[in-house]
Amino acid sequence: MKCNPPGVRGVPTISRDEVAHLARLARLAVTEQELDKFAGQLDIILQSVAQVTEVAADDVPPTSHAVPLTNVFREDVVRPGLTQQQALSGAPSAEDGRFRVPRILGEEQ
């Protein structure tokens, strides 16, 4: 990568050859026109990242969200559930206190 592209100081730029090298590493077939297009697009991305790093100040603490978050989950409360008999009452088939389902994939017993 080279430094000092027009308009932005100290920001690395990516060359056409570097884009071609990255494309080969990623096993991507790109045309000559795409090399020029991707080099320009990657250059813009590198410039944008460099601008963001310039703005970041040491006195600003890192954050994971733009606004504070609070936990919205409710407390766990134990409540009565179904008995085994009630749960199996609507099943099409039950055996030995469990749901009975058809055998699949030719499994042996």
- List pLDDT tens digits, range 2-11: 544 444 455 5
How far is C-alpha 93 from the geometric centre of its chain's CA atoms? 43
What's the whole-number average pLDDT of the chain?
83
Is the pLDDT reported for residue 101 higher than 70?
yes
The CATH code of the domain that includes 10 is 1.10.20.60
Q: Is residue 109 part of a domain?
A: no
Report how far residue 18's alpha carbon sits from residue 22's, in angstroms, rounded to the nearest whole number: 6
Q: What is the pLDDT of residue 6?
A: 45
Q: Is residue 43 part of a domain?
A: yes
Confidence band of 63 (pLDDT split at 50, 70, 90): confident
Q: Is residue 69 part of a domain?
A: no
Q: Is residue 35 part of a domain?
A: yes
**Number of folded domains that form the chain:** 1
Q: Is residue 96 part of a domain?
A: no
Q: Is residue 90 part of a domain?
A: no
Look up the domain containing 19 and give its range.
1-58
87 to each of 81, 95, 96, how far by Cα in Å? 9, 13, 13
State the average pLDDT over residues 4-27.
76
Q: What is the pLDDT of residue 51?
A: 84
Is the pLDDT reported for residue 86 higher than 50?
yes
